[in-house]
Amino acid sequence: MTFRHCVAVDLGASSGRVMLARFDADTRLLSLREIHRFVNNLHKQAGFDTWDIDGLEAEIRIGLNKVCEEGILIDSIGIDTWGVDYVLLDKNGQRVGLPVAYRDNRTDGVMALAMEQLGKGDIYRRSGIQFLPFNTLYQLRALVEQQPDLVSQAAHALLIPDYFGYRLTGKMNWEYTNATTTQLVNIDSDNWDEDLLNWTGAPTSWFGTPTHPGNVVGHWICPQGNHIPVVAVASHDTASAVIASPLADTDAAYLSSGTWSLMGFESKKPYTSEQAQRANITNEGGAEGRYRVLKNIMGLWLLQRVLKEQNISCLATLIAETAKLPACHCLINPNDDRFINPENMSAEIQAACRESAQPVPTSAAELARCIFDSLALLYADVLNELAQLRGKPFSQLHIVGGGCQNQLLNQLCADACGITVVAGPIEASTLGNIGIQLMTLDELSNVDDFRKVVSHNYGLTTFTPNPDNEIAHYIAQFQQQRQTKELCA
């Protein structure tokens, strides 16, 4: 037997993991084992919401060292994280300041300014990326205006996964799939758009040419002295999750479900028409020259905040209570920008229901039911937008990521969308990270080959639409709810 051992560092906006994969090249069996898990929280520093970047690095090193202490010879390491955020470095490669988190409000009003000065259509034609107030395009402008002292010290800007790769190897890299989330990459050239960068006021010299996933950035020297390749995987976590989505055919859509829900389809061409712009569709970079044509949905962030505020420790019990409640008693638009980072999510949901003359949810179960019903209806609306864009309906919807464990939400999604839902794998981002590593090691030929490995090794659960479901009757009412100010509109 020929075994390969690959380590995936998978960081999300609320937690991080170091995972060990073992791949048998003869039987094509792939197993995952969690080595180290840790929390990722926002920290208020100097008035900004920031990431504890040094603490995260320390946790990553703890996980890597644990693998080495077991005597396992690691073949490669890959890192994936959330998008848009970055770290500044000075001319000596030392960090300048702390990375400000995308949920910070420093970008308030900046996106509107960009649209006014550059033109919304021109920005979209150049980047193909949806308008989100926290895109790096707007973050950099806010940085230049609000923290000029940091700008004067900085010589480089690395996106979060590239920064951790740099800390392990001493080599800088700008990986393409994550770079596209910035709204600063030109969709025609796959390189930084100088006009957009110039508008931010940040030096273009901060950024090197983006590289596509699958190249070895450098080597990490483990405590035992081994030089281990660090691979630039599809470092945006959604890009990795899509790689691991066992899409049945070209008519299948995907939903990467977690703190954010990303719904879309793969395409060999971008969609940058006026119709796509009106729907605020994004064309993020994927592996092998494919585009991830998708839309951001606020996702389970709302539930995560409610769980924390209501001090709920057992999600399974809450979901069981929620399933007993009537459908669509009250609805919100999860993409209303009031839910980006409110002081109290429970109170914000209640206020939204009160303002729209609906019953106000009070218990944790009622709040969860409101979130689940609203998300399912939003999924249905977005899936319809995507189908209209491509000119034909979808055959299936594949839900991957941690959110696919929520069977109630999966069924509500199938009912609202009127389509078969296939759930799994749960560890999609980690698996996609591993998949690119195995391709780089010449153990697999391409993404489609890897998806066969995923289907072979990980059980999938199917949910079919219930013909007697209640939720589909509320689609028209929900579409009226979406007329509010939207994060993604």
- Residues known to be catalytic: 237
The tally of CA atoms less than 13 A away on the side-chain side of residue 119 is 5
8 marked among binding-site residues: no
Single-letter amino acid, residue 95: R
**Does the annotation place 165 within a ligand binding site?**
no
Residue 391 phi/psi, 5° resolution?
85, 10
- Spatial separation of the C-alpha atoms in residues 298 and 340, rounded to whole Å: 8
To the question of whether residue 402 is assigned a binding role by annotation, the answer is yes
Nearest to 239 by CA among 291, 297, 170: 291
Which is nearest to 477 in space by CA: 386, 317, 367, 356?
356
Question: Was 236 annotated as part of a binding site?
Answer: yes
Q: What number of other Cβ atoms are within 10 A of residue 226's Cβ?
A: 12
Distance CA 470, CA 228 (A): 54
Residues whose CB is less than 8 angstroms from the CB of residue 304 and which lie 6 or more positions away in sequence, other chains included:
14, 259
Can you tell me the distance from the alpha carbon of 52 to that of 39, in angstroms, rounded to the nearest whole number?
10
- The amino acid at 325: L
253 annotated as a binding-site residue:
no
| 13 annotated to a ligand binding site | yes
Residue 152 marked ligand-binding: no
Residue 15 annotated as part of some ligand binding site: yes
Q: Is 41 annotated as a binding residue?
A: no
Q: Which of 333, 328, 314 is nearest to 370 (CA)?
A: 328
Separation CA 403–CA 413 (nearest Å): 12
97 is in an annotated binding site: no
3-state secondary structure of 246: coil
Q: Is position 473 annotated in a ligand binding site?
A: no
C-alpha 260/C-alpha 132 separation (Å) is 13
Q: Is 264 annotated as a binding residue?
A: no
259 is in an annotated binding site: yes
Binding site for ATP: what residues are annotated?
A: 13-17, 259, 304, 402
Binding site for substrate: what residues are annotated?
A: 83, 236-238, 296
Binding site: what residues are annotated?
A: 13-17, 83, 236-238, 259, 296, 304, 402
